[in-house]
Amino acid sequence: MGQLWRGNSGSLPGAELLILSPFVIAQLLAWTAYYDAERAAHQAAHRLITEAHSGGWLELERTPTLAANPFGSRASYVLFQLRQKLALVFLPVLLLLVQRELQRLFPQTWQEWQRTVNFLGIAAVLVVFAAMPWILRLVLGLTPLPPGPLRQRLQASARRLRFRCSNILVWNTRRGMANAMVIGILPWVRYVVFTDRLLDDFTPEEIEAVFGHEVGHIRHHHMLYYFSFLTTSVLVLGWLITDVVVAYVRPLPFALDGHSSDCVSMVSLVAVLLAYIFVVFGFLSRRCERQADVFGCRAVSCTSPDCCGHDTDVAFAPHGRGLCPTGINTFIRALEKVASVNGISRDRPGFLQSWQHASIGRRIEFLQQMLLDPGVERRFQRRVFLFKALLLLVLGSAVALILFQDAKTSAIDPDRAATVRER
């Protein structure tokens, strides 16, 4: 994305205006970096059960479509692919292009209202983030789950787990994949989405367990955490890298102008950010997925910790407080099915496919340990809590330090503060 954007910049008219305004470069830089982060968060938080896909729209290529299903015309296929694969990618590009075109058309106003424009930019990103469920529903053509026993069952489950969402939707992937996701931080703009294949191939118990996994992400506030983590990380890394670059560029025997050092900062920021997301976010995301897995087990567990099977009229524990062997086994079965239906290797899904979610084999292994020793879960939850709290504490302190330094600099010397900020 960053490359795409930079690649475009030469061919578009008015590119010099961008370079003239360090403020806008900083903004573009933030948006460019933000996009990767946002996409990673989105992928981790939303493509939840299947461990590995590099994006729902990419999976369609890997999963063989059943010959029994009519495939539709070429035009409809192309349109379907375009909608699923490209529409979402084009949205941020479109936003950036609009921003750029406005800037090109009204350069004067842009310069004069830089602060307002910057504020509006941040507001626009937040609005797009909050409205993401609506955007996805529109782009992917999601439809409400029709009324019936399954919908009633899931609604009852939501009430029991104290979970609120605005609707349960179906994603028609032409039976391409079995997957589910939850989208939306706010309960009144939040959807739980199941693909057609999952609804066709999974039993109601398994679907409810998968639903529980998605509810688990919300109950553990994963999306809010990802959002704060990524925002503070981008701030802190951006600040660190700019400082390091400035420190190294100054003693160089030849002079680098402001633009070159901005370029160096930008390239290093994108590189470091990607590596950071891969390592730290990957680690965090795998823990969060496991938390959601455990909640999925709880969603279909009764109150008896040593039950040996559920009748059709079993009463599941309220608020997801129960954790019984039958519930754990239902969730394990759902995971096995995700692997077999999507054609994912259970134990060796590939490096790129397992950085966000552990392999299905390892996820199941953990749940089986939980069956043997209930203490495993308690210890796991405690470790995850400590890790998450520590991470947020470190990032929060760093942001506080940056703000403090900034305030101090501007108090001592307003001119210098301005240059520092423009950097």
Residues paired with 191 in a beta bridge: 167, 183
Please, are residues 35 and 92 in contact by the beta-carbon 8 Å criterion?
Answer: yes
Q: Give me the least distance between CB of 44 and Zn ion, in Å please.
A: 8
Q: Give me the least distance between CB of 165 and Zn ion, in Å please.
A: 15
Residues paired with 194 in a beta bridge: 170, 180
Nearest residue to 129 via CA among 157, 95, 102, 163: 95
Q: Give me the least distance between CB of 2 and Zn ion, in Å please.
A: 27
Q: Give me the least distance between CB of 157 and Zn ion, in Å please.
A: 15
In the bound state with Zn ion, the residue whose beta carbon lies nearer, of 231 and 326, is 326
Nearest residue to 125 via CA among 202, 217, 238, 234: 234
Nearest residue to 366 via CA among 358, 89, 198, 33: 358
Measure the CA angle with vertex 180, ends 178 and 184; round to 5°. Answer: 160
In the bound state with Zn ion, the residue whose beta carbon lies nearer, of 144 and 305, is 305
Q: Give me the least distance between CB of 66 and Zn ion, in Å please.
A: 26
Q: Give me the least distance between CB of 43 and Zn ion, in Å please.
A: 11
Pairing of strands 143-144, 180-183: unpaired
Residues paired with 180 in a beta bridge: 194
In the bound state with Zn ion, the residue whose beta carbon lies nearer, of 262 and 289, is 289
In the bound state with Zn ion, the residue whose beta carbon lies nearer, of 97 and 307, is 307
Q: Give me the least distance between CB of 324 and Zn ion, in Å please.
A: 3
Query: What is the distance of C-alpha 372 from the center of its chain?
Result: 33
Interacting residue ranges for Zn ion, rule: CB under 5 A: 48, 289, 292, 302, 307, 324, 326
Residues 6 or more apart from 369 whose CB is under 8 A from it?
A: 376
Q: Give me the least distance between CB of 49 and Zn ion, in Å please.
A: 6
Q: Give me the least distance between CB of 332 and Zn ion, in Å please.
A: 14
In the bound state with Zn ion, the residue whose beta carbon lies nearer, of 232 and 326, is 326
Residue nearest to Zn ion (CB): 48
In the bound state with Zn ion, the residue whose beta carbon lies nearer, of 264 and 300, is 300
In the bound state with Zn ion, the residue whose beta carbon lies nearer, of 257 and 306, is 306
The amino acid at residue 347 is D
In the bound state with Zn ion, the residue whose beta carbon lies nearer, of 137 and 222, is 222
Cα→Cα distances 70→177, 194, 197, Å = 16, 21, 15
Pairing of strands 167-171, 191-195: parallel
Dump the DSSP string for 70-111. ----HHHHHHHHIIIIIHHHHHHHHHHHHHHHHHHH-HHHHH
In the bound state with Zn ion, the residue whose beta carbon lies nearer, of 215 and 324, is 324
Q: Indicate the DSSP class of residue 316.
A: P
